[in-house]
Chain A
Amino acid sequence: MSEKTLTYEQINDELLGMLERPHPSYFLLLLGFLLALGLFVLSLAIQIDVGIGYSGISHPIGWGVYITNFVFWIGIGHAGTLISAVFYLTRAPWRTAIYRGAEAMTVFAVMTAGLFPLLHTGRPWLAYWLIPYPNQRMLWVNFKSPLVWDVFAVSTYLTVSVLFFMIGLIPDIAIMRDDAILKGKKLKALIFTPLSFFWRGTNHQWLHYMRAYLIYAAIATPLVFSVHSIVSWDFAMATLPGWHTTIFAPYFVAGAIFSGLAMVMTVLIPMRVVFGLEKYITDHVVQSVCRVILFTSIIVGYAYFSEFFIGWYSGDVFERSIFYFRPFGAMKEWTLLGDQSIGFPQVAFFLMVFCNVIAPIPLWRWKIRNNIMAVWIICGLINVGMWFERFNIVGSSLQRDFLPSAWGSYWPTIIEFGITVGSFGFFFTLFTLFSKSLPAMAIMEMKESAHPPMRKETHG
């Protein structure tokens, strides 16, 4: 194993080296993301000022790109928790190199996601009414509503993710603190000292720390499955054809992990290239992630198939109609003259199937999995595909539900494009800042897997 050749010193130097004064191109990148973030803020400001009518959401499509983005970003978050908690508990050694980045991704993704349910409401300034708080007006929330479950699920998820992230950071921040003191950087030392919780690295502290980490991993693990299940119930609890299915919870969880891992790869592969981290994010790590991606891709593909099969098998006209509509558009009998048409929902459907089921197929080959460029492209496609999967679910069912007279169509406006693109700006701005301010790789755990100093090679 290549890590064995690394020394503690080397790990310290190289990973802390990532936090050195950045190259000007970093600022250029950051500027790009900041511009996108600016677009986000601007679009949002216009929409809140004038009204939600600035979006293309309408009647009967009450949810559009915003809820698509919400589900997409929550899904992205799941990979982080999966890698840091589930793979920790299952002792998957290849997680060490990527879990910190993935965890940061979780926090930022949940932060991004959390914005959308607020900003998609008609009166975002009253969104706090969804929180049950005692008030003199004796108003309470409706615990039967999946949206209230969402509030609990997402806020719990954000809290746990942030705590888990911070706990994981403690020993590393201590290293940064020591480094800052060593180099005489007083401000950094001042910031890092409380953040490191005065970590000294004693045996006693390590003992408690590892226990705490294990407990948090155990707490976070069910969230990997519960949060996206609850998000899926936003749809599954409704009566709409195409939404009202029992498969949604596992289907969404698999999809979340699938998209999250793809996003991890999308982000970490450029980092590996730019910072030259081949020694840490090894081919083995990439291979392992790809295997999980492949596995979840199969689950997602099966879910697609199963939805169609059950749609047909149920014999329900509404179910059958919607599952005919998604790939093929209007049924012949629907139109006045019996002609067919293919529109945007159908394009979204084929993009979804292609990106999520067909594009990952090459990953079966070892050679492709080892080709960092190919993996990056496939993961990018999966990101696109998973966005369209959510769009397909949100959009198409609302377009063709029970009463044909009320059918409609949906096309996002420039404001929605702005907010969608801007949400990526928000996410990547945070991630870019993170990559230069905190160690994007767990120094402590990398050391754990490295060969301890002053110990003979044979012990390893």
Chain B
Amino acid sequence: MKKGLSRRNLFKYMGVGSATVIAAGCEQKPEKLIPLLVPPDEFSYMPHTSYHYMTTCQECAAGCGMMVTAREGRAQKAEGNPNHPLNQGTLCARGQASLQSLYNPSRLPFPQQSGKQLSWADAETEFTNQVKAANGQIAYLGKPETGSAKPFIEEWLKAAGGGNHVQFEVITQANQREANEIAFGRSDSALYAFDKAKYLLNFSTDFMETWGSVIENTRKFTEMHVFQDGTKNKFVHVGPHISLTGAKADEWVMVKPGNEGLMALSLAYEVRKNKGTHAFLAAYLAPYAPEKVAGQIGTSVEKIKKVAEEFGNSNPSLAVGGGNMIATAHGTETLVAINILNAVAGNLGKTLEFSSESSSAAHSHEDLMNLIQDLNDGKIKVLIVDNVNPVYALPKAAGFAEAMKKAFVVSLSSVQDETTHFANLVLPTLTPYESWGDASPRAGIRSICQPVMAPVNAFNAKAKEDILLGVNTQLNTGQFAGIVTYQDYLKKAWTEIQKGTGNSDPFDSFWINTLTEGGLFTNPARSPVSLRTDVVQTKIQISELEGKGLALLPSPSIMMGDGSGAKNPWLQEIPDPMTQIVWDSWMEINPETAKQSGIKDRDVVTVKTAQGSVNLTAYFHFGIHRDAIAIPLGQGHTRSGMAADNYGVNVLDLLPAKLDSKSGNFVWVSTKAEILPTSQKSFTVNVDGNARQIGRGIAAAATIESLKHSEHHEGHKRPVEFYPDRKETAGYYEPYRWGMTIDLDRCNGCSACVAACYAENNLSVVGKERTGLGREMSWIRLDRYIEGYGDDFEVRFSPITCQQCSNAGCETVCPVYATYHNSEGLNVQAYNRCVGTRYCSNNCAYKVRRFNWFNYEFPEPLNQQLNSTIGTRSVGVMEKCTFCVQRIKQSQTDARALGRDVQDGEVITACQQTCPTQAITFGNLMDDQSEVSKKAKRSEKEVEHRDRQYEILPGLNYKPAITYLKKVNLREVKSLGHSESSHG
């Protein structure tokens, strides 16, 4: 034979080769190229279709209802459940960002023991063995459970041989409940009817940030405080610190830290004196006459008398107290004092109500201290930690980290954190998005939690209840007969609930109804309460704080909450509304105090207490008492994943582990701190270019007085123009011109809209360094301006997004028509056409265009959250808000199928949808009957909006499609140097 390749062999090889290629091709599943002619039935999956599932948000204890939009089998957007009585369709920033808890890259991928990967079978066997060996010496430490999980855990513990169920959350209302017990004999939380109050007195409570049911509070507060019928109700903030909530106040009564109780009693003294009711309190209140205590409180007698008069004369009024800032060693007494004030003002049963069904959720930090004691005494063999992070969230001084080493720690957690790091056995659990559950945050509200998608495939996790059921099966206890998964248990529990309601439907239809509605909502009757006469035994003692220096106020953070928000990149990237700082902690200090100690704004200082010291950037804030500093909670993680770790400091490291003797609640305000200057350079990033609007009238305000004399207002008259309006140009605005109004009197700066925009529009997160360069991608931003100086200052918020100008500056300068005005009045951006000259951004007066400086990544599996109805943008492309054009198009498609135009209220932008104060209105400006037209156009009928309408920078004649409505102030704050003018 000849050497080389013969003809015959060549064909052989070719045959084998092509067979291999064909075989390899067969590996891939054939793709459907032809669209489905017959749609699948109701419950099967349709591509590119939005499915909505009702569930419950579990980022905080409020228990708001959530409606999750899932497409392509993935949860892509969280919105409020419109049926839910608490949040009525809206969500806060944390609720919006809960999607990132679901897709968080720091979620635990598999079960592990001492860092080694285990199979689920081995892990459950190990768990079972430990439980067996513990012989009932078990402690179960979890979040406060309000639904069926609580009896489930207790049943499970009983089956496992006994043990403690300890409930733990950092921010509790234990002192509230105790104070209600003392004052009214009710050991549950009160229902605050903010909306009914004519006058609101707030004692340091951050009720629009973390305290209580935040969204409900915000909504009801807005109803009370918004400008209507030519007037508005007054809101007075009493306390040493102004946070987002206090920023909405019409008056600030600055009191020394920890003296809110004295102030309340002093007011009660005045009110009672004027009204002459509650004679049994006369002697008790006598020592608190304003003349006697004003000096101690740190305010003037006149001020107390004035507030007392206004408060007493408003019927009904409401005094609210709670939160971290009043949680001193006598925090409970302070709250009792506030209860007394409400009682003497006659607010009981009017604005301060109690449900007829008591829902006592008795747990306090004392339980946890006892647990630590038990651990140290060796009374606990197995500690089960369920999705709480006490290693981070307790002061180091409490010694939890040391105590937990004395037991075998089983961690049931969905994400890695400081506590899972020290656990012996770590079992990944599913997030609320992937599991069954329910919650009953208060009587009358039973909210359901259902899986909205299959578990995220990157993590090998199980529902915590199913893990416990697995252990139970292995233990062979005989409990939970007939229950295979937690879903069975839940259904059984709901069968009982159905019986309780007297509903006689078949359970299946009741169940489907419940899932569709998102829960079972009733409005239980209110039961009357009265002030107990033995309340006089409660005495307020103002104890001095430990240490020397300035009082340390650990303020809760609206974004981070108790610290669990830190792992979600959106919450890190969205600026803190008050300071506009991102990815960091800071120390708020009064400029006067700082001047005395030679500290400049943005200096790095060492804050030192007996417990420890941290280095922080000083941030000048007028809204803090001169003898105090405030440090936000929630940062300073060390083992919670890449978004949380090594940003800021944990203020808990500075606090002693002291408990309120009455309620067992943690004492937040207990120590003073020394401030020592350092030579370090600060790398704290804030996104606001300038804190002052220097009289440019961007976040404009009017006083009631000025609105009364409305005939002086010219309104926004347009200058006579050479060019015809676009309205007169054929093809434009027929039949739509989309427009928006933003009511600054409603907006409280909570930034939920910003989070919603991140979720809806696939905005990239760029991190701290790049935000420092101004490269954050937020399409809507919450501008914050400070007016005035010193104690008499005002905070104004204004959400700024693309104004969709009719005469836009960006459009004319784009050399390639990448941005242009479409026929519906949107300033649209063709990303594919953009070359990236950035001229449009330069010429945008509102600076709302965002440029892709790099190809930004969405780390796995965060990319699964991306909204599949729109794309992502690549490097070198300008992007911007287009009023959620994908939602507009969807509504138009739906309307076309019905053969009609889109009707008012059918298109809801993401920011508008989530706004708890309903500050944003969106719709068709060409429709005179639309909500937005009524608000944006001047008419004699719309008294509430008339004379408040303005455009930002009208002098440029950009003709924006967003009309702002001025904030209404009860007082006039002098801005520095400039006079207020809304004309540019």
Residues of A near any B CB (own CB < 8 A): 50-53, 56-63, 117, 120-123, 126-127, 129-130, 139-142, 144-148, 151, 234, 237-240, 316-318, 321, 331-338, 398, 401-408
Contact = CB atoms under 8 A, between A and B. Distances in A.
A148 B843 CA distance: 16
B783 interface: yes
Contact of B851 (A62, A145, A405, A407): A62
A407 B691 CA distance: 10
B693 interface: yes
A51 B952 CA distance: 33
B690 interface: yes
Contact of B591 (A130, A147, A337): A337
Given A144-B812, A407-B689, A408-B774, A334 B833 contact: no
Given A130-B816, A141-B815, A403-B698, A62 B854 contact: no
A405 B698 contact: yes
B696 A51 contact: no
Given A51-B876, A334-B690, A317 B695 contact: yes
A123 B816 contact: no
B767 to A, nearest CB: 12
A334 B835 contact: no
B601 interface: yes
SS class, residues of chain A in contact with chain B: loop
A408 B689 contact: yes
A61 B692 CA distance: 20
Interface stretch (B711-719, B919-927, B964-972, B976-984): B976-984
B84 interface: no
A438 to B, nearest CB: 36
A321 B845 contact: no
Given A239-B843, A337-B620, A59 B785 contact: no
A123 B817 contact: no
B278 interface: no
B853 to A, nearest CB: 3
SS class, residues of chain B in contact with chain A: loop
A133 to B, nearest CB: 12
Contacts of B642: none
A53 B853 contact: yes
Given A59-B774, A333-B978, A403-B783, A123 B842 contact: no
B694 A334 contact: yes
A129 B877 CA distance: 14
Contacts of A145: 812-815, 839
Nearest to B773: A58
A51 B853 CA distance: 6
Nearest to B841: A62
B82 interface: no
Contacts of B953: 402-403
A403 B845 contact: yes
Contacts of A240: 842-843
Interface string B787-817: 0010000000000100000000100111111
B838 interface: yes
A51 B842 CA distance: 19
Contacts of A337: 591, 601, 620
A336 B842 contact: no
Nearest to A317: B696
Nearest to A126: B835
Contact of B835 (A121, A318, A406): A121
B147 interface: no
A399 to B, nearest CB: 8
B835 A122 contact: yes
A320 to B, nearest CB: 11
A139 B816 contact: yes
Contacts of B812: 142, 144-145, 237
Contacts of A57: 838
Contacts of A121: 835-837, 876
Interface in B818-834: 833-834
A100 B125 CA distance: 91
Contacts of A139: 816-817, 833
B842 A398 contact: yes
Interface of B: 591, 601, 620, 688-696, 698, 770, 773-776, 781, 783-786, 789, 800, 809, 812-817, 833-839, 841-843, 845-847, 850-855, 875-878, 952-953, 955-956, 975-978, 984
Nearest to B955: A316
B852 A58 contact: no
Given A127-B835, A336-B691, A405 B620 contact: no
Contacts of A336: 591, 601, 620, 691-692, 786
6 contacts: A62-B838, A120-B837, A237-B812, A333-B695, A403-B689, A406-B689
B853 A404 contact: no
B775 to A, nearest CB: 5
6 A-B pairs closest in CB distance: A122-B836, A122-B876, A407-B689, A53-B853, A333-B977, A62-B838
A260 B781 CA distance: 44
Contacts of B800: 403, 405
Nearest to A60: B847
Contact of A147 (B692, B839, B876): B839
B596 to A, nearest CB: 14
B845 A141 contact: no
A60 B836 contact: no
Given A122-B875, A239-B956, A401 B847 contact: yes
Contacts of B851: 59, 62, 122
A334 B692 contact: yes
Contacts of A126: 835
A147 B689 contact: no
Given A121-B835, A336-B786, 12 more contacts: A52-B853, A129-B815, A145-B812, A146-B813, A148-B815, A238-B813, A239-B809, A240-B842, A317-B695, A317-B696, A331-B977, A405-B690
B854 A123 contact: no
A402 B853 contact: no
Interface centre among B689, B692, B781 (most CB of A within 10 A): B689
A333 B976 contact: yes
A130 B817 contact: no
A452 B814 CA distance: 58
A184 B692 CA distance: 78
Given A403-B847, A407-B690, A52 B815 contact: no
Nearest to B952: A403
A151 B691 CA distance: 40
Given A141-B817, A142-B816, A122 B984 contact: no
Contacts of B601: 336-337
A59 B846 CA distance: 12
A332 B977 contact: yes
Given A123-B877, A405-B784, A140 B817 contact: yes
A122 B838 contact: yes
Contacts of A398: 842
B817 A58 contact: no
A318 B855 contact: no
Contacts of A52: 836, 853, 875-876
Nearest to B874: A123
A407 B686 CA distance: 12
Interface centre among A53, A123, A334, A403 (most CB of B within 10 A): A403
Interface centre among A59, A130, A141, A234 (most CB of B within 10 A): A59
A120 to B, nearest CB: 8
Contact of A122 (B770, B814, B877, B956): B877
Given A123-B835, A147-B839, A240-B843, A142 B694 contact: no
Contacts of B850: 59
A305 B501 CA distance: 82
A238 B815 contact: no
Contact of B846 (A140, A331, A338, A402): A402
Contact of A58 (B774, B955, B977): B774
A53 B775 contact: yes
A333 B692 contact: yes
Interface centre among B776, B789, B845 (most CB of A within 10 A): B845
Contacts of A63: 838-839, 842
